[in-house]
Amino acid sequence: MTDIISQVETAIITEIKAAAGMAYLKTVDSYGGQFDEDLGEVIRSYPAVWVSYAGGAKPKPLGSEKYLVPATFVTFVAARNLRNEQSTRHGSPGEVGTYQLLSDVRTLLMRQDFGLAIEHLKPGAVRTLYNTRIRNAGLSVFSLEWSTAFVEKVPSKDEVDLLKIGLNYTLKPGDDIPDASDLLTLS
């Protein structure tokens, strides 16, 4: 499961970074607690978008061997503006606001599956995280949730833990008789 989650998060980040219409962004990255740091320092990286996995609902059985696993991702959009707090949301000449950021991210990611085995992304709730002033600059941060789902298969006994690998070496072409063999034990 963690592999598909990291693939989706990485794909979202890659898609936003590659968007020609969003070249105004200074930062596009995985969320790692940036809002828990000194916001006066963090706002220097604005306008910004951060991406994170937010969890998911209970998986739904699709028979005895497969489950449909709902997953929620969140994009955080952030802008600052020296004019005032309202301009951080609405924007001003030469400065993007968080409303435009929300619109651009929503337009870019809606119905995306990035070629991965997931349901298309569907936009969800938008929440205000910050609308304030810090060090003479307006600051605005919103979160936008994205829902998707993927199928997870119950691993077979052979897939659970790979502890040993057997290797056979044949030195004569066309000869199916091993000339040497190794048994590697993984720890």
What pLDDT is stored for residue 1 in this prediction? 54
Residue 59 has pLDDT above 90, yes or no: yes
Cβ distance 68 to 151 under 8 Å?
yes
Residue 173 has pLDDT above 90, yes or no: no
Which contiguous run of DSSP H or E holds residue 51?
strand 48-55
User: How far apart, in whole angstroms, are the C-alpha atoms of residue 12 and residue 114?
Assistant: 8
Give the rounded percent of residues in the chain with a pLDDT score beyond 90: 53
Mean pLDDT of 99-114: 96
